[in-house]
Structure 1
Amino acid sequence: MIEYVSKQATALKPSTLVPSTSFTSDPMRFSVSTDEFPETDIVTGVLYYDTHSLDLSSALAGKCYDVFHTCDGLVLGPAWTNSVTRSLLVQKDGDKIVNAVSFSGIDAGDAELVGGFRCHADGLTRSTKQSRLVWSLYDAIVLPVSRIDAASSWSYSAAAWRQANGNPENQIEIFNGVSGRMVDVTASAYMVGVTSAATSGFVGVGIDTSAADSSQVKNPAAAPNTFPVLPAWARYVGYVGIGYHELRWLERGAGGSAQTWLGNGGQPCGYQTGILGWVVQ
Structure 2
Amino acid sequence: MTVPSETNRSGPYNGNGVTTVFDYEFKISNENYIKVVKATASGVETILTIDADYIVSDVGNPAGGQVALTVPLPAGQTLTMVPKVPFTQEIDLENQGAYYAETVERAFDLSVMRDQQLQEQINRAVTIPASEDPAQLDGLIGDILRLADSAGNIDTVAANIGSVVTASANIAAIIAAPAQAAAAAASAATATTQAGIATTKAGEAVVSAAAAAASASSINLPAPVASTFLQRNAGNTAYVAVAIPALRTALNVGEIIDEDNMASDSDTKVPSQQSVKAFVEATACAMPQGRLTLTSGAPITSADVTGAASIYYTPTNGDRVPIYNGARWAGTAFTELTLALDASSGHTGYQQSGKVFDLFVINDNGTIRLGSGPAWSSDTARGTGAGTTELQLVNGIWTNKNAMTLRFGSASGNTIAVPANRCTYVGSFRAIADGQAGDTAADRLLYNAYNFAPRKLRRWETAGAYFYSLTTVRQANANTANKVTVLAGLGGVGIDLRNIGVAQNSTTTARAASVGIGVDSTTASGASADGAANVVVPLSQFTAHLVDQVALGYHAFNMLEAGAGADNQAWLTGSTTGLVGQVWM
TM range (shorter): 0.7 to 0.9
- Aligned partner of 2:573 in structure 1 is 263
The verdict on how the C-alpha distance between 1:75 and 1:21 changes in structure 2, with shifts beyond 3 A counting, is farther
Equivalent-residue separation in structure 1 for 2:559 and 2:512 (angstroms): 18
- Aligned partner of 2:423 in structure 1 is 111
Do structure 1's residue 120 and structure 2's residue 435 form an aligned pair?
no
Equivalent-residue separation in structure 1 for 2:525 and 2:396 (angstroms): 39
- Aligned partner of 2:340 in structure 1 is 55
Give, in angstroms, the shift of residue 109 of structure 1. 0.8
- Aligned partner of 2:577 in structure 1 is 273
TM-score normalised according to structure 2 size: 0.42
Contact 2:483 2:579 in 1 (8 A): yes
Give, in angstroms, the shift of residue 27 of structure 1. 2.1
Give, in angstroms, the shift of residue 22 of structure 1. 9.5
Do structure 1's residue 75 and structure 2's residue 396 form an aligned pair?
no
Q: 1:98 aligns with which of 399, 423, 428?
A: 399
Give, in angstroms, the shift of residue 230 of structure 1. 2.5
Bigger relative contact order (CA 8 A; separation at least 6): 1
The verdict on how the C-alpha distance between 1:41 and 1:207 changes in structure 2, with shifts beyond 3 A counting, is same
Contact 1:191 1:222 in 2 (8 A): no
Give, in angstroms, the shift of residue 221 of structure 1. 2.9
Do structure 1's residue 64 and structure 2's residue 356 form an aligned pair?
yes
Equivalent-residue separation in structure 2 for 1:23 and 1:66 (angstroms): 22
- Aligned partner of 2:295 in structure 1 is 33
Give, in angstroms, the shift of residue 79 of structure 1. 0.8
Deviations 1:20-67 (A, max 9, x none): 949999621122222112222112121011421112223111111101
The verdict on how the C-alpha distance between 1:94 and 1:24 changes in structure 2, with shifts beyond 3 A counting, is closer
Contact 2:293 2:312 in 1 (8 A): yes
Equivalent-residue separation in structure 2 for 1:122 and 1:168 (angstroms): 22
Equivalent-residue separation in structure 2 for 1:164 and 1:256 (angstroms): 18
Deviations 1:179-212 (A, max 9, x none): 2210000001111122221111100001011110
Paired amino acid for 1:213: S
Do structure 1's residue 164 and structure 2's residue 476 form an aligned pair?
yes
- Aligned partner of 2:463 in structure 1 is 151
RMSD (Å), alpha carbons: 2.0
Equivalent-residue separation in structure 2 for 1:117 and 1:197 (angstroms): 49
Q: 1:182 aligns with which of 487, 490, 494?
A: 494
In structure 1, the residue corresponding to 2:374 is in which secondary structure? Answer: coil
The verdict on how the C-alpha distance between 1:21 and 1:42 changes in structure 2, with shifts beyond 3 A counting, is farther
Do structure 1's residue 230 and structure 2's residue 534 form an aligned pair?
no
Deviations 1:232-270 (A, max 9, x none): 110000112111111111101121333211103xxxxxx
Q: 2:310 aligns with which of 46, 52, 63?
A: 46
The verdict on how the C-alpha distance between 1:24 and 1:276 changes in structure 2, with shifts beyond 3 A counting, is same
Paired amino acid for 2:507: T
In structure 1, the residue corresponding to 2:375 is in which secondary structure? Answer: coil
Equivalent-residue separation in structure 2 for 1:250 and 1:86 (angstroms): 30
Contact 2:288 2:450 in 1 (8 A): no
Equivalent-residue separation in structure 2 for 1:103 and 1:24 (angstroms): 25
More strand by share: 1
Equivalent-residue separation in structure 2 for 1:182 and 1:25 (angstroms): 20
5+ residue gaps in structure 1? 1-19, 265-270
Equivalent-residue separation in structure 1 for 2:442 and 2:463 (angstroms): 17
Equivalent-residue separation in structure 1 for 2:555 and 2:565 (angstroms): 30
Paired residue total: 254
Contact 2:400 2:424 in 1 (8 A): yes
In structure 2, the residue corresponding to 1:165 is in which secondary structure? Answer: helix
Equivalent-residue separation in structure 1 for 2:543 and 2:287 (angstroms): 46
In structure 1, the residue corresponding to 2:469 is in which secondary structure? Answer: coil
The verdict on how the C-alpha distance between 1:31 and 1:24 changes in structure 2, with shifts beyond 3 A counting, is farther
More helix by share: 2
The worse-fitting range, judged by mean Cα deviation, of 24-33 and 235-244 is: 24-33
In structure 2, the residue corresponding to 1:29 is in which secondary structure? Answer: strand
Equivalent-residue separation in structure 2 for 1:22 and 1:52 (angstroms): 20
- Name which one, 1 or 2, has greater alpha-carbon Rg: 2
Equivalent-residue separation in structure 2 for 1:22 and 1:186 (angstroms): 42
Contact 2:516 2:531 in 1 (8 A): no
Contact 1:191 1:261 in 2 (8 A): yes
Deviations 1:95-116 (A, max 9, x none): 3111101111211111111111
Give, in angstroms, the shift of residue 276 of structure 1. 0.1
Paired amino acid for 1:61: S
Contact 1:42 1:128 in 2 (8 A): yes
In structure 1, the residue corresponding to 2:517 is in which secondary structure? Answer: strand
Equivalent-residue separation in structure 2 for 1:24 and 1:121 (angstroms): 35
Deviations 1:143-200 (A, max 9, x none): 1110011122111122111111111111111101012210000001111122221111
Equivalent-residue separation in structure 2 for 1:25 and 1:230 (angstroms): 49
Equivalent-residue separation in structure 2 for 1:181 and 1:197 (angstroms): 43
TM-score normalised according to structure 1 size: 0.85
